[in-house]
Amino acid sequence: DAKTTQPPSMDCAEGRAANLPCNHSTISGNEYVYWYRQIHSQGPQYIIHGLKNNETNEMASLIITEDRKSSTLILPHATLRDTAVYYCIVRLAGPEYGNKLVFGAGTILRVKS
Amino acid sequence: DGGITQSPKYLFRKEGQNVTLSCEQNLNHDAMYWYRQDPGQGLRLIYYSQIVNDFQKGDIAEGYSVSREKKESFPLTVTSAQKNPTAFYLCASSSHGLDTEAFFGQGTRLTVV
């Protein structure tokens, strides 16, 4: 299984960009990187995903290095409501894995005023 | 509204009793997943199903059982063989393929006393 490594916690000032790093050095060529976040006692919320190109949506941007061994999630203007646990996940390829999402421990992002 | 529903939100059971957690989706997704989350930890996969009448064990299947008789339903039974059943349980569903997001329910918090 491809594993991900994230810092356990990060702080960010309100209104500033939050940059959350993730290492996934064993990722296979057809496996996608997904980002989810979880606010306490709720189900994880999808943020964004990508394969090798950078991606952007209304919530965030995803920057994937050329060798695909790491990525960065960018929240351009963090608000207090962005305080959550952020999970960087590799979706395993192949029917034998059921395309399952493999979660790590995640990064606790604290946005402070 | 389309979505994935878990019930109940909170569940209390006596030790030694089996208990079944409900998960229903109306997103027409083929794949469904059950995860367990302990305090301060990431999500761990219990069981997953890629199609009706078929399911596979995840990383921590011991003490759990599932069924997939209908596309929209994937109930999880926590049996008396599960040594430490108190946890937060999350259900998810997705279409097939690596390039599709998974949607999560809001979870069921099970407490065994």
pLDDT per residue over B43-82, tens digit each?
999 999 999 999 999 999 999 999 999 999 999 999 998 9
Beta strands in A1-60 (DSSP E): 9-13, 18-23, 32-38, 45-50, 55-56
Please say if the pLDDT value at position A56 is more than 70.
yes
Q: Smallest CA–CA separation between A104 and chain B, in Å?
A: 6
**A45: three-class secondary structure by DSSP:** strand
Q: Does A53 touch chain B (CB under 8 A)?
A: no
pLDDT at residue A14, rounded to an integer: 97
Give the chain B residue whose CA is nearest to the CA of A47: B101
pLDDT of residue A90: 87
Q: Among all residues of chain B, which has the CA nearest to that of A95?
A: B50
Instruction: Check if the beta carbon of residue A9 is closer than 8 Å to that of residue A24.
Output: no
Model confidence at B34: pLDDT above 70: yes
Per-residue confidence (pLDDT) for residue B40, from 0 to 100: 84
Residue A59 has pLDDT above 70, yes or no: yes
The C-alpha angle with vertex A86 and arms to A80 and A90, in degrees rounded to 5, equals: 155
Q: Does residue A101 belong to the interface with chain B, where contact is any CB pair within 8 Å? A: yes
Least confident of A21-25, A89-93, A95-99, B29-33: A95-99
**What gap in Å lies between CA B34 and CA B69, rounded to an integer?**
16
